[in-house]
Structure 1
Amino acid sequence: MRVVLLVLALLVSVTVPASAGERLPKWELTPTGVIAQFRGLSAVSARVAWVSGTQGTVLRTTDGGATWQSVGPPGTETLQFRDIEAFDAGHAVVLSIGPGTDSRVYRTDDGGAHWRQTFQNTDAAAFYDCLAFFDPWRGLAMSDPVDGRFRLQATFDGGRSWHPVPDSGFPPALPGEAGFAASGQCVTTAGPFDAWLATGGGATARVLHSGDGGRHWTASDTPLPSSPSAGVFALAFRNPGQGVAIGGDFANPDAPGPAVALTRDRGRTWRTPAQYPAGYRSGLAWRGETVLAVGPGGSDLSPDGGRHWTRFDTGSFDTVDCAGAACWASGAQGRVARLR
């Protein structure tokens, strides 16, 4: 009976809203004027943010979301820009996904007035999912496995050129294992050398870690569910030691199973917290000691690094990003919001 009561208490704690006296943040929608789905998001400050999505759409705001400018590369209407990394109001790198030559990278140095294509995949078996930067110069772009190993491109000049990383530094991929291009957060970095890749689709949902800038990788199992539609969808690290993984099953988004895992040892081991958001979540971000999580079923926050969670919004978002205290979220139907 004690076990049953404990299980019931945990389930209730996941879904019960905060008390009326507790102050919770709110998402304030900003008018984008488009209906694209924005899975790519890069927060620069409270005033500057970039989003990228379907139909080759890239938008930029420099006034806190009061207005958005369409600044995407011309002639890319058939592409899906699933990830964007912006360094300031003028400089950004955007990644399109897809098999073969649909996987591309573009860079702008003038706020989107002009773009230059800096990478185009030529391997029909590769499919690039997301990218991340250690600093304004060094970054990584991740592809699903090719011939049994994950594939990476590295840049050392801010995305102006890309170079393949030897796949000999990767452990073998599991059958069916891949990344999820759901929020631009299947690869992340913290500090000058640590990077992590999120996976699903195989026998277990794993996180791969590199401590040398992406040359060599080790894999660790997580307790998250894994299937062709389930796994780790997003990773966020507060520092090289402390991180959170989140995901679930996008084909069964209301499944109550644990979709959060925590690490305090650079991703070598992962554990499920006592509380966790109910259902599938695709995006993560740190705001100081607080973790924000978003997905089609709502938004949650954890004030203690992922151990306890409270839902604060029921609207649909795919991804979230913070620059200091300034946090933004984006998703389907042109939805972009600032955290108030």
Structure 2
Amino acid sequence: MAPDTRASTRSHHPCTHGRTWLPVVLLLAVLVAGLAGCSAEEPVEPEPETDVVVEPPAEEPAEPAEPVWQEQVSGVTDKLYGVAFVDPDTGWAVGGDGRGVILGTTDGGTTWAEVYTQDDYAFNAVHFIDSQTGWAAHQGDGESDIVKTTDGGQTWEKQTSGAVRSPNDVFFADADHGWIVTSAGQIWATADGGATWEQQESGVEGLANHLYDLHFVDAQTGWAVGWDRDGVIVATTDGGETWTRQDPTVEFLKAIFFVDAQNGWAVGQDGAVATTDGGQTWSAQDAGRRTLEDVFFIDAQSGWAVGAGSIVLSTTDGGATWNQERDGGAGTPVLYGVHFLDAGHGWVVGDDGVVLHYGIPEGTDG
């Protein structure tokens, strides 16, 4: 039997054996190494998803509220001729129609109450030097034509000026020194808080003449306005010992106001005039040919004037220009008195118990 040579043939051809197994061995080594490397690495955890917080857009800051004119309820239908405030809460208004009435408020005019009344003679003017001490002047015959309070209006004491005709205005520079002007062109003065009064020589006395308003910047320096045949302005620098007539350039003046010894304004039937030299010269201002009853300034630039037809004028340039803030037209209440504490607090009074307040409305941010 012939010998089997297949086995010897496979075992004696090393080249054939290498081509068959070497690639397989190398592939297995690579796979093993790869698996070993993978098993040695830590598994990679996926990044946790994070919530994206979206901030709301920033709110625009609210615009500050601006002062506006609003009518207040006085509780009366009388004509109101004068108004005075000593702080944003505390004030008084006076007038009357067949009687005399003084109103008071302690909440800026939100509510008003009658604090003093009398059967005859309307009150024409009111003036306070602080929260406790004030005077009011009323139409009369010189007997008990002034009342005074020293307790904020809770009680009023009658005073007698001795004037021939009723006082139209009263003004005090301090607790002692005060003056009244009358419808007979008279000026009366007191140096003891109104206990006694003496007449001063105004230079315009006469039953057909009128002085309507006066204003002092201190106990020595003051002015009074009115009319005889023409417009009248008289001035003093010695407490009224002497009064000197000035030329107002217009007729029928009703009110005057000074912020210091140099800068002043007067208003009346023909509009407004102003001075910057204590009244040595007066110049007409373009306030329109309206009848203006009162004027008030808080500084040399900012002021208000009121009058017929419910008109309210304002200026921020010393009266070089006057702007109309309110105008009710013909037949609407006349506004007789205006008083401001500052640029954001003011009051106006007039016919039919009208009270207007200039300020930031309640419930809004100032």
Within the candidate set 263, 275, 278, 1:242 is matched to: 263
Residue 49 of structure 1 and its aligned partner are, at CA, apart by: 1.1
Q: Where does structure 1 differ by over 6 angstroms across 4 or more consecutive aligned residues? A: none
Do the aligned partners of residues 267 and 45 (structure 1) sit closer, same or farther apart at CA in structure 2, a change above 3 Å counting?
same
CA shift digits 1:103-138 (9 cap, x unpaired): 6111112233221112153x6x43321111112331
- Kindly report which structure 2 residues correspond to 1:46-85, keeping only aligned pairs within 5 A, or say none: 46-54=88-96, 55-73=99-117, 76-85=118-127
Q: Which residue of 1 aligns with 2:203?
A: 171
Given that 2:141 and 2:165 are in contact with CA atoms closer than 8 Å, whether structure 1 keeps it comes out as yes
Give the Cα separation in 2 of the matches to 1:120 and 1:31: 33
1:199 aligns with 2:243: no
TM-score when scaled to structure 2? 0.72
Pairwise CA distance, 1:66? 1.4
List per-residue Cα deviations over 1:236-264 (Å, max 9, x = no partner): 1111111001000xxxxxxxxx4211111
What is the DSSP-based 3-state SS (H/G/I as helix, E as strand, rest coil) of the residue aligned with 1:98? coil
Give the residue type in structure 2 aligned to 1:207: I
Amino acid at match of 1:267: G
Secondary structure (helix, strand or coil) at the match of 2:262 reads: coil
Secondary structure of 2:261's aligned partner? coil
> Percentage identity across aligned positions?
24
Deviation for aligned residue 1:24 = 8.6
Deviations 1:82-101 (A, max 9, x none): 10112333322111123453
User: What is the CA deviation profile of residues 58-100 of structure 1, one whole-angstrom value per residue up to 9, with x for unaligned ones?
Assistant: 0111111111121015xx1212101011233332211112345
3-state SS of paired residue (2:292): coil
1:322 and 2:348 matched: no
Structure 1 residue 173, shift from structure 2 partner: 4.6
Corresponding position of 1:209: 235
Match of 1:137 in 2: 176
Q: Which amino acid aligns with 1:259?
A: G
- Which letter maps to 2:174? D
Counterparts of residues 35-50 of structure 1 (less than 5 Å):
35-50=77-92
- 1:7 corresponds in structure 2 to none
Q: What displacement does 1:290 show?
A: 0.8
Q: Is the 8 A contact 1:174 1:203 kept in 2?
A: no
User: Per-residue CA shift, 1:201-237, capped at 9, x if unaligned?
Assistant: x232020000111111000121213xxxxx0000011
Structure number with greater CO (CA < 8 Å, separation at least 6) is 1
TM, length-normalised to structure 1: 0.78
8 A Cα contact 1:204 1:222, kept in partner:
no
Q: Is the 8 A contact 1:233 1:283 kept in 2?
A: yes
Residue among 252, 261, 268 paired with 2:280:
268
Distance 2:154 2:123 in 1: 17
> Which has the larger displacement, 59-68 or 25-34?
25-34
Gaps of 5+ in 2: 1-64, 360-366
The answer to whether the 8 A contact 2:124-2:167 is kept is no
Distance in 2 separating the partners of 1:327 and 1:162: 33
The structure carrying a bigger helix percent of its residues is: 2
Name 2:302's counterpart in structure 1.
290
Return the offset for 1:190: 1.3
Distance in structure 2 (CA, Å) of the matches to 1:216 and 1:144: 20
Partner Cα distance (1:24, 1:205) in 2: 38
Q: 1:204 to 1:196 in 2, by over 3 A?
A: same
2:324: which partner in 1?
311
Q: Which runs of 5+ in 1 are unaligned?
A: 1-22, 181-185, 226-230, 249-257
* In structure 2, C-alpha distance between the alignment counterparts of 1:172 and 1:333, rounded to whole Å: 33
| Compared CA separation, residues 81 and 276, structure 1 to 2 (3 A) | same
Whole-Å separation in 1 of the counterparts to 2:74 and 2:206: 40
CA RMSD of aligned residues (A): 2.2
Residue 157 (structure 1) shift: 3.3
Corresponding residue number in structure 2 for 1:157: 192
| Paired residue type of 2:196 | W
Q: How many Å separate the matches in 1 of 2:206 and 2:199?
A: 20
How many matched pairs?
285
The one-letter amino acid paired with 2:255 is A
